[in-house]
């Protein structure tokens, strides 16, 4: 500051240049101070953003702005579009063929969208660095209305390009872009590829069409009319797929439309199979789906001469090659199934609707799929919707290292491998809404794409799946899957090392940085997003997820039918590919089907864990606090589930670990409905606050219908199942040996009960016929009761024949009902195994025990002989039996603690829980075990003083509610909760104490006296969303506090600098004009003093900021000019 400095007036504001620095306007300094004191919401949200980049703003439809015409000769060479233009189609029809087509960055290639346009573009590779438009969003008026066929073909010979593609560099360098070895052609990244580069944009908008609907009337074999539930806009010549409604997926078929009249579709030929359409109301999703395969924009990987017959024959040849696959020589499959593929890179923008993709995907090759977002990061705004993908060679849509895309209203028919594929487990926020999958066949690029492995263990895979889900933080809504191995397969990037315990609280033994247990990342995403240059980096929350602690974001209204399994949450895999084995196996590592392959699932039982929690995912892993969360699956439908290879693996739902709450589920003709094993990692969670601790699955308001292929609804196995307010019925054709519950085949392990409340045979409860949850099922069953009743009707309850009767570990295998299964007086009842029983009143080899005293005596005299504490082995405590862990001591004799099992305990000597999970036991209305009254949901009173009755109590905690420096609003009621488990919205509500939580969220009890103030919060979303809102609020508070401190320092610095320069300038002025100094001493200016004198001093002060060594007269002259 003692150096020469220069200031001047510019635009009425002083500008200064000090110490050779750039000009720094005082206005800017003032603005910085204001921004620091009062940061805008946008600025604050950017600083706390959970995403690495923002989506691109979308400009208006460019057809009005671009008028230049593209004149191009069909020379069969390379076409590079380097300026914006509209393709000239002359008389309306144009066929073009290029070796490569490249749209350069900054250029737009527009395809004219008039109805009479007929365009065919054939190319060996299409690389979009700029923009390619075929229509605009906004409905039929803006859409592409002509016909477009974009063909990806073997411009240089299929075998040459196949050989190049086979040698893809799986090191994924160069921004994770595989590069075919030896391919030097300019602009060609892949063979037969459509690539949207980092700067690219793809806009395909075909004529809007209804994508798919359900039958509303059953269609018999030979029928030539379909009656749908909604009108459609299909036309003569359109191709449709009608989904199978039997256990035989081969009964799905393709038909051709002759005409359409509203909801009635006339067919060109009769149906080959019958298809159900007789289910009404909530059961309508049991009807056959009918999907549209035809669209006016087509993208095809050309395989033959281009005729429809030849292309279909090529797909059948691929299927035959898969059937004869020799893992030592994959080349026949690769050559027969070498279609086109599309890949969308990071920062690209992709909007596809009403388009048709066929002969796409390249078999046994990673990263070669019909539609593929590849390491795209935040792709918010991109979508593919109302489109069809049929007769493809590998998958339908792959979302890889990408978040926030929309995949909606699509039809995926006849492909190989997992149809909709979340690849590396890092993917979040993506929405799969109302997609139809029909017939995904075994085959693809990873082990789980197949049915079984070839290793010595003959590892059963039961693939492929309709939806391969490696991260639960995604949305699945109203999808329908027909004819696959597994409908919805959940398996996460986890580690099974010892010592990983997924319990609530501040427990980081399985944290993201601990290298084990709760989460991870597969494949190239692991390294690509480690690089901060790609927008993320090692500390970004996206790289530090804990999938095993994350509940599913949204799973509602999804259906699976005609498949081997419904939902499968197990079968852990260890990577998304097997590329590192490429040198060890002839022909490469794909497909790697042996037991040691990372992409093969582990044992189909007990290899997985899932303990849903609420936590702040944006917090560093070592600062996260975990509280139990509800893992809600709503309105799930499983129908006609029976395997065609491994029948004993045919489950509607199989879960390992976790806490699944199924609301409104429908099971119809499922071989085995539900089986589960408990969370072996120690979480021992409840599916809901009302559920028994450790029961992995709870069903509420659900319907179970048997059929010709059914064996049982519930498997008595290691994990208990709770069924509330649900009904079952036996449809015609149900086998004589069908039972509501059965033990697992050859079962001799730790059996746990099936617990029923308010549940029984359809019609046993008054009001069933008027209840929309159940009324739709009346008339389907010849055995539905008319209501009320007493005595019989329980003959199909249980069948204990599969028990290993010599094992001492089967005594926990029984059924319990709080109201005798809806038959007779509503008293507690148990149906237990009895090898000597000849009665069939409640099933086979079973006995019926009624009354609370009798049930309690039976359980006390015949306790299950399984263990808790460390005696169970490396997993820690045994769970899944309804016993709170605090009652389970490190002893082998279950009698010491089994008497405390709610809700049928006769007496209880159990001490209050002292550990964090669970807080309190679930109890009946008769009161807690300690004699005190329970809360509305069986939880302790959250507002009771810590340490008092009804509180889980921390004697060191301050009494009463949390205290705040800045109290929250009335709707943000907060209480002291030492374990942070009594409420839905996380802990640290005051920003300082983990024990301080908000309440009134989701399924948890509202705070007393909060009243209507809680209503807006209760309506505002799930517990997970509320927790993240609280975490965001805490980040905002911290941001403001930090900004306040920084702004104080900044403003103090500005003031000190201003005062110092003012003082220095006076000294300079006095040195040059000593007479002014004397005058100032004689006439000091006051607040309302001489304005002219003050102005003169101010101008002299500005003038004094010039060079001190300058001429005094010159300085005075400059001063006067400034005053003027």
One-letter-per-residue 3-state SS of 58-73: CCCCHHHCCCCEECCC
For residues 884-900, one letter each, b for 16 or more C-beta atoms within 10 angstroms of the residue's C-beta and e for the rest, the string is bbbbbeeeeebebbbbb
Q: How far is CA 903 from CA 569, 925, 1076, in A?
A: 29, 10, 96
- 3-state SS class at 971: helix
Q: What local confidence, expressed as pLDDT, does residue 620 receive? A: 85
Q: Give, for 421, the enclosing helix (H) or strand (E).
A: strand 420-422
Q: What local confidence, expressed as pLDDT, does residue 478 receive? A: 98
Please answer whether residues 109 and 85 qualify as being in contact, where contact means their C-beta atoms are separated by less than 8 angstroms.
Answer: yes
Where residue 446 falls (left for φ over 0; alpha for ψ -120 to 50; beta otherwise) is beta
Query: DSSP label at 360?
Result: B
- 3-state SS class at 110: strand
* Low pLDDT (below 70) residues in the chain: 1-59, 73-75, 155-189, 327-328, 453-459, 495-517, 579-590, 594-596, 603-606, 679-686, 693-694, 747-751, 781-792, 807-809, 860, 863-1048, 1066-1124
The angle subtended at Cα 1074 by Cα 1072 and Cα 1079, nearest 5°, is: 130
Distance CA 763, CA 214 (A): 28
Distance CA 365, CA 168 (A): 9
Distance CA 373, CA 522 (A): 16
Angle, helices 1023-1072/1074-1082, rounded to nearest 10 degrees: 110
Please answer whether residues 383 and 360 qualify as being in contact, where contact means their C-beta atoms are separated by less than 8 angstroms.
Answer: no
Helix, strand and coil content of the chain, in percent to the nearest 5, comes to 20, 25, 55
Q: Give, for 857, the enclosing helix (H) or strand (E).
A: helix 852-861
Please answer whether residues 493 and 596 qualify as being in contact, where contact means their C-beta atoms are separated by less than 8 angstroms.
Answer: no
CB-count exposure of residue 910 (10 Å: 0-12, 13-18, 19+): buried
Residue 495 neighbours by CB distance under 10 Å: 16
Q: How far is CA 312 from CA 147, 338, 387, 390, 418, in A?
A: 20, 14, 19, 10, 21
Please answer whether residues 440 and 419 qualify as being in contact, where contact means their C-beta atoms are separated by less than 8 angstroms.
Answer: yes
Please answer whether residues 133 and 110 qualify as being in contact, where contact means their C-beta atoms are separated by less than 8 angstroms.
Answer: yes
Residue 907 neighbours by CB distance under 10 Å: 10
Whether cis (ω within 30° of 0) applies to the bond prior to 903 is yes
Distance CA 4, CA 1094 (A): 25
* Tokens matching residue 646: 């491994």
Helix residue spans in 439-536 (DSSP H): 525-528
Q: What local confidence, expressed as pLDDT, does residue 59 receive? A: 57
How do strand 627-628 and strand 613-614 relate by DSSP bridges? antiparallel
Residue 832 neighbours by CB distance under 10 Å: 24
Distance CA 208, CA 198 (A): 28
- 3-state SS class at 1078: helix
């Amino acid at each position: 500051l003692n150096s020469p400095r220069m200031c001047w007036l510019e635009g009425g504001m002083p500008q200064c240049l000090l110490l050779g620095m750039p000009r720094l306007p005082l206005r800017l300094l003032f603005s910085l101070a204001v921004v620091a004191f009062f940061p805008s919401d946008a600025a604050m949200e950017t600083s706390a953003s959970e995403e690495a980049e923002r989506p691109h703003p979308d400009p208006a439809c460019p057809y009005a702005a671009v008028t230049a015409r593209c004149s191009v000769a069909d020379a069969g060479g390379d076409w590079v579009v380097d300026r914006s233009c509209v393709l000239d189609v002359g008389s309306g029809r144009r066929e073009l063929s290029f070796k490569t087509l490249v749209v350069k960055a900054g250029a737009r290639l527009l395809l004219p969208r008039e109805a009479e346009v007929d365009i065919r573009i054939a190319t060996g590779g299409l690389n979009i660095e700029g923009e390619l438009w075929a229509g605009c969003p906004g409905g039929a008026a803006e859409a592409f209305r002509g016909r477009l066929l974009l063909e990806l073909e073997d411009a240089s010979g299929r075998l040459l390009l196949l050989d190049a593609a086979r040698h893809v560099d799986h090191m994924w360098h160069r921004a994770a872009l595989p590069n075919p070895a030896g391919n030097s052609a300019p602009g060609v990244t892949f063979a037969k590829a459509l690539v949207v580069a980092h700067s690219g944009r793809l806009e395909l908008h075909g004529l809007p069409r209804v994508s798919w609907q359900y039958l509303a009337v059953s269609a018999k074999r030979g029928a030539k009319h379909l009656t749908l539930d909604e009108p459609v806009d299909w036309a003569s010549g359109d191709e449709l797929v009608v989904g199978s409604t039997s256990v035989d997926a081969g009964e799905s078929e393709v038909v051709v439309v002759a005409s359409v009249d509203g909801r009635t579709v006339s067919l060109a030929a009769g149906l080959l199979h019958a298809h159900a359409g007789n289910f009404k109301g909530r059961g309508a999703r049991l009807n056959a789906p009918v999907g549209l395969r035809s669209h006016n924009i087509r993208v095809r990987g050309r395989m033959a001469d281009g005729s429809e017959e030849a292309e279909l024959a090529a797909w059948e040849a691929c299927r035959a090659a898969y059937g004869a696959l020799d893992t030592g020589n994959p080349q026949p499959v690769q050559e027969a199934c070498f279609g086109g593929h599309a890949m969308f890179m990071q920062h690209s923008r992709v909007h596809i609707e009403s388009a048709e993709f066929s002969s796409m995907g390249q078999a046994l090759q990673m990263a070669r799929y019909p539609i593929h977002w590849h390491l795209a990061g935040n792709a918010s705004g991109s979508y593919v919707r109302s489109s069809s993908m049929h007769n493809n060679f590998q998958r339908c849509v792959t979302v890889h290292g990408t978040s926030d895309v929309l995949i909606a209203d699509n039809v995926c028919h006849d492909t190989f491998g997992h149809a909709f594929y979340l690849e590396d487990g890092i993917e979040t926020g993506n929405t799969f809404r109302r997609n139809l999958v029909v017939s995904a066949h075994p085959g693809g690029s990873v082990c789980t794409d197949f049915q079984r492995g070839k290793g010595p263990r003959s590892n059963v895979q039961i693939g492929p799946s309709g939806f391969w889900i490696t991260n639960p933080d995604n949305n699945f809504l109203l999808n329908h899957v027909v004819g696959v191995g597994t409908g919805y397969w959940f398996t996460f990037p986890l580690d099974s090392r010892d010592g990983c315990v997924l319990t609530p609280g501040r427990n980081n033994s399985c944290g993201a940085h601990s290298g084990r247990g709760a989460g991870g990342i597969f494949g190239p995403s692991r390294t690509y997003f480690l690089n901060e240059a790609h927008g993320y980096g090692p500390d970004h929350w996206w790289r530090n997820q804990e999938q095993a602690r994350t509940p599913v974001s949204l799973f509602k209204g999804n259906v699976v039918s005609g498949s081997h399994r419904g939902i499968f949450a197990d079968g852990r895999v260890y990577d998304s590919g097997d590329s590192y084995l490429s040198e060890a196996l002839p022909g490469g590592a794909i497909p790697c089907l042996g037991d040691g392959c990372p992409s093969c699932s582990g044992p189909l039982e007990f290899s997985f864990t899932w303990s849903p929690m609420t936590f702040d995912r944006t917090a560093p892993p070592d600062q996260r606090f975990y509280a139990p969360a509800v893992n809600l699956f709503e309105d799930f439908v499983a129908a006609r589930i029976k395997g065609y290879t491994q029948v004993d693996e045919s489950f509607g739902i199989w879960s390992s670990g976790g806490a699944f709450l199924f609301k409104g589920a429908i099971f119809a003709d499922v071989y085995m409905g539900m089986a589960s094993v408990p969370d072996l990692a120690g979480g021992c969670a409840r599916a809901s606050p009302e559920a028994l601790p450790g029961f992995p699955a709870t069903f509420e308001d659900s319907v179970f219908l048997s059929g010709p292929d059914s064996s049982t609804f519930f498997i008595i196995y290691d994990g208990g199942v709770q069924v509330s307010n649900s009904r079952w019925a036996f449809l015609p054709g149900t086998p004589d040996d069908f039972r509501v519950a059965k033990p697992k085949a050859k079962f001799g392990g730790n059996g746990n009960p099936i617990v029923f409340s308010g549940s029984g045979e359809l019609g046993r409860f008054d009001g069933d016929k008027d209840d929309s949850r159940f009324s739709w099922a009346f008339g389907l069953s010849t055995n539905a009761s008319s209501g009320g009743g007493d005595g019989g009707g329980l003959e199909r309850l249980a069948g204990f024949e599969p028990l290993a009767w010599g094992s001492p570990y089967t005594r926990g295998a029984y059924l319990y009902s709080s109201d005798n299964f809806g038959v007779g007086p509503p008293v507690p009842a148990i149906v237990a195994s009895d090898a000597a029983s000849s009665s069939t009143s409640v099933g086979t080899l079973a006995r019926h025990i009624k009354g609370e005293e009798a049930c309690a005596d039976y359980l006390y005299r015949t306790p299950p002989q399984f263990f808790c504490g460390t005696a169970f082995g490396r997993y820690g405590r045994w769970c899944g039996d309804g016993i709170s862990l605090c009652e389970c001591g490190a002893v082998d004799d279950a009698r010491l603690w089994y008497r405390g099992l709610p809700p049928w305990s006769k007496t209880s000597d159990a001490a209050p829980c002292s550990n964090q999970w669970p807080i309190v036991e679930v109890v009946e209305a008769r009161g807690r075990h300690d004699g005190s009254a329970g809360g509305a949901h069986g939880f302790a009173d959250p507002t009771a003083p810590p340490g008092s009755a009804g509180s889980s109590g921390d004697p060191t905690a301050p009494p009463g509610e949390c205290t705040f420096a800045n109290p929250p609003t009335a709707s943000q009621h907060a209480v002291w909760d030492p374990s942070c488990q009594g409420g839905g919205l996380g802990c640290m509500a005051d920003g300082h104490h983990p024990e301080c939580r908000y309440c009134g969220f989701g399924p948890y009890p509202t705070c007393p006296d909060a009243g209507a103030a809680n209503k807006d919060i209760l309506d505002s979303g799930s517990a997970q969303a509320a927790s993240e809102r609280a975490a965001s609020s805490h980040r905002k508070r911290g941001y403001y506090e930090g900004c306040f401190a920084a702004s104080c320092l900044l403003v103090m610095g500005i003031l000190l600098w201003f005062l110092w320069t003012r003082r220095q300038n006076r000294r300079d002025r006095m040195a040059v004009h000593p007479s002014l100094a004397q005058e100032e001493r004689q006439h000091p200016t006051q607040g309302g003093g001489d304005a002219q004198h003050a102005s003169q001093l101010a101008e002299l002060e500005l003038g004094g900021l010039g060079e001190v060594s300058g001429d005094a007269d010159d300085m005075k002259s400059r001063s006067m000019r400034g005053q003027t």
